Amino acid sequence: MKQSHEETIELMNDKKTKTLLPVIIVLFFIMLFGFIGNCFFVYIHPLKSKYSPSGLPVVFLGWSQILECVLHIPMNIFILFHSYNFPDDIVCRFMQAVIFMSSAKTGMIVFTIAVDLFKKVCWPFKPQFTSRYIKKIICCNLIVLTFVLAGPGKFRYIIKI
């Protein structure tokens, strides 16, 4: 009996999913423990440490990672389950653009933390970041740089049949 094109793609997808099962399991545990750990961090860090401008991007990074664990890792798991038979081209592009934006945002937050620590260690007697300036940097990261850095991602992933 001859298989249809859709059945062949479904069989290839099932085979690929079985190959990727260890990755899917690891992503699930990263999602689970990342969510729990970052929730603890976001709750405990403001209670146990005094308020400082340096702590603001660290807590924001924690919230960002919670968002990653809730939204982006399940998106990646869904993509891994549908390697060959993803349902919609627009949804695929949107998901990849969101994942790219998230990665760019996380990288920019870590860069902000690194610059803040560099200023504290190398130039301790020069003016440091203020809370207001840190908030401006975070907003700039979210609005401008994230969309600029993630923009090409929505054009790169196209479903070809």
Along the 161 residues of the chain, how does pLDDT read in single tens digits?
Answer: 567 888 888 888 889 989 999 999 999 999 999 999 999 999 988 888 777 777 788 888 899 899 999 988 998 899 889 888 887 777 877 787 788 778 878 888 888 888 888 888 888 888 887 777 777 877 777 777 666 666 665 555 555 54
Report pLDDT for 21.
94
Both tokens assigned to 159: 């479903």
Domains of the chain and any CATH numbers: 5-156 (1.20.1070.10)
If residue 47 lies in a helix (H) or strand (E), which one and from where to where? helix 5-48
**Phi, psi torsion values for 129, nearest 5 degrees:** -65, 140
Gyration radius of the chain over CA positions: 20
Give the C-alpha separation, 31 to 71, whole Å: 10
